[in-house]
Amino acid sequence: MAKKHVVVLTGAGMSAESGVSTFRDSGGLWEQYRVEQVATPEGWHEDPKLVTDFYNGLRRQLLTKEPCEGHRLLAEMEQDCNVSIITQNVDDLHERAGSSRVLHLHGELFKVTSSMNPNDPRQIRTLKDDEWEVKIGDKAPDGSQLRPFIVWFGEAVPNIEPAAEICSQADVFLIIGTSLNVYPAAGLIQYVPQGCPIYLIDPKEVSIPACMPVTHIRKGASEGMREFLRTLQP
């Protein structure tokens, strides 16, 4: 029998049990920093040093974090299913847990790029662990200041089309730990084929922007994944 294709859309709640802050929960990142300052092209133009330091801080923190059980269970699921992960997270915890197909919608914290041509593949570079601290004056191959390889608010999301294509091929769709506040990521559910079972793992209520029946597992990512795997068994 052909393996099921499980498409998983993850958000910050996926990494909460690894100790990574979410954005909109109480105490979340957007309570501590102004989005306009650190996550928009305007913020970058106004104060590149502040933005550079902000992402240096996130990188330094991420080096101390480990994948949680939820990340590991998703990776192990590849033994029985074809698993495609579409993540809004900029951390590399899915990859470190062993997942092999991970598409990042909002960029990757350990990558840097040109501030002139951010989506030119020739400008994008992965930092080694000991290179987490980027400085003003560090240059991309095209000679412009290095910036984080992060999709900021107001910028296009180049991976949205491949993500929509993956969603349209789902046999099972699983959403973990996202408030579905940010578009176009939140609109991906519209591409899931009719009749495809949809599961949501999140301890809180999330409004799903479609009249689709969703099985809500009201748990954290790790416990929720254990329950999801039980329901998936034939």
Task: Return the active site residues.
Answer: 106
Q: Which is nearer to ligand OAD, 140 or 217 (CB)?
A: 217
Give the DSSP per-residue string, 106-165: SEEEEEEEESSSTT-GGG-EEPPGGG----TT-B-TTSSBEEEEE--TTS--TTHHHHHH
* List of residues 6+ apart from 233 with CB closer than 8 A: none
Structural tokens at position 190? 């519209």
Q: Which is nearer to ligand OAD, 81 or 157 (CB)?
A: 157
Q: What is the footprint of ligand OAD within residues 26-55 (CB under 6 A)?
A: 28, 39
Report the run of H or E that residue 86 belongs to, with start and end. strand 82-87
What distance in Å separates the CA atoms of residue 151 and residue 234, rounded to the nearest whole number? 39
Under rule CB under 6 A, residue 23 binds ligand OAD: yes
Question: By CB under 6 A, which span of 12-20, 54-62, 126-134, 225-233 interacts with ligand OAD?
Answer: 12-20
| Cβ contact 138:123 at 8 Å | no
What distance in Å separates the CA atoms of residue 186 and residue 89, rounded to the nearest whole number? 13
Q: What is the footprint of ligand OAD within residues 139-158 (CB under 6 A)?
A: 151
CB of 234 to ligand OAD, least distance (A): 26
| Cβ contact 210:165 at 8 Å | no
- What are the residues facing 86 on neighbouring strands? 9, 103
Q: What is the footprint of ligand OAD within residues 103-132 (CB under 6 A)?
A: 106
Site size for ligand OAD (CB under 6 A): 27
Q: What is the footprint of ligand OAD within residues 182-201 (CB under 6 A)?
A: 182, 201
Residue from 18, 22, 114, 145 binding ligand OAD (CB under 6 A)? 22
What distance in Å separates the CA atoms of residue 97 and residue 114, rounded to the nearest whole number? 29
Question: By CB under 6 A, which span of 8-16, 47-55, 59-67, 137-145 interacts with ligand OAD?
Answer: 8-16
Nearest residue (beta carbon) to ligand OAD: 13
Under rule CB under 6 A, residue 99 binds ligand OAD: no
Kindly list the residues in this chain that would bind ligand OAD in the complex (CB under 6 A): 11-13, 16-17, 22-25, 28, 39, 88, 106, 151, 176-179, 181-182, 201-204, 206, 220-221
